[in-house]
Amino acid sequence: MAGCVWAVTPKISEPRTVVLFLHGGAYVGNITKMHWDLVGKLVDKLNALVVVPDYPLAPENTWRETYEFVDKLYGMLLEKYSGKKFVFIGDSAGGGLALGFAQKLRDENRRLPEHIVLFSPWVDVSMENPEIANVESKDVILTVKGLKAAAEKYATGLDLKDWHVSPIYGDFKDFVPVSIFTGTHDILNPDAQKLSDKLKEQGVICNYFEYDGLFHDWVILTFLRESKDALEKLKNILSGL
């Protein structure tokens, strides 16, 4: 049921940072228990208030309703927590949404978050990167066919290469630092690499972490050694905000 928003707070101290967490699911799938496991780790590791919206999904909704929902929520958060630092974190499709929404904020001269974190991000829903063919046989979770079917429902009314749904095609002038975590056995890995290169070419601070042999969205499996490593890296990166 889209429309719910949860705010998860640290048990001990007053958080200085507000995290807007946008979950993955190819824009058609709801938040999962594994996402909640990650949210709990983010709260503890970052000592942050983590806000988790159940944003509108396809096929009942399109990118337009999703953006409108996130935009309204972000405005409310800025009003309530204006003195705090903001971080956008998204996994998979949530990463694409976080990046695209930040581009929208930049274009409208509105307040951007201090940092954007992308876990296994889906930043090009056209799935036309030729390097994907070299990875698809190694990916045990995603298929190009399945993702494109979801993308066509979500992107109704838009070209699949429009930056609202494929933010890799947008521009990153006057952008904020970005951290990307990806695995080499993920069909979205080639676009994560491409995004990192583009960000750096346009002068954006980008931390790029590639984990050999790991599959799509491995970070939400918080018991994995690599997930723990990624969260420790993230803690160190964001400690300077």
Q: Per-10-residue mean pLDDT for the chain, 241 residues long?
A: 85 90 98 98 96 98 98 98 97 99 98 99 98 96 97 97 98 98 99 99 99 98 98 96 84
**Is the CB of residue 207 less than 8 Å from the CB of residue 180?**
yes
Please provide the size of the chain in residues: 241
Cα-based distances in Å from 194 to 99, 198, 208: 14, 6, 11
Confidence (pLDDT) at 150: 98
Confidence (pLDDT) at 1: 42
CA distance 58 to 151: 9
C-alpha 151 chain-centroid distance: 16
> What is residue 202's three-state secondary structure?
coil
CA dihedral 5, 60, 30, 42 (to 10 degrees): -40
Domain containing residue 91: CATH number? 3.40.50.1820
Confidence (pLDDT) at 51: 98
**Is the CB of residue 180 less than 8 Å from the CB of residue 237?**
no
Residue 54 domain boundaries: 5-238
**Is the CB of residue 233 less than 8 Å from the CB of residue 209?**
yes
Domains in the chain, number: 1
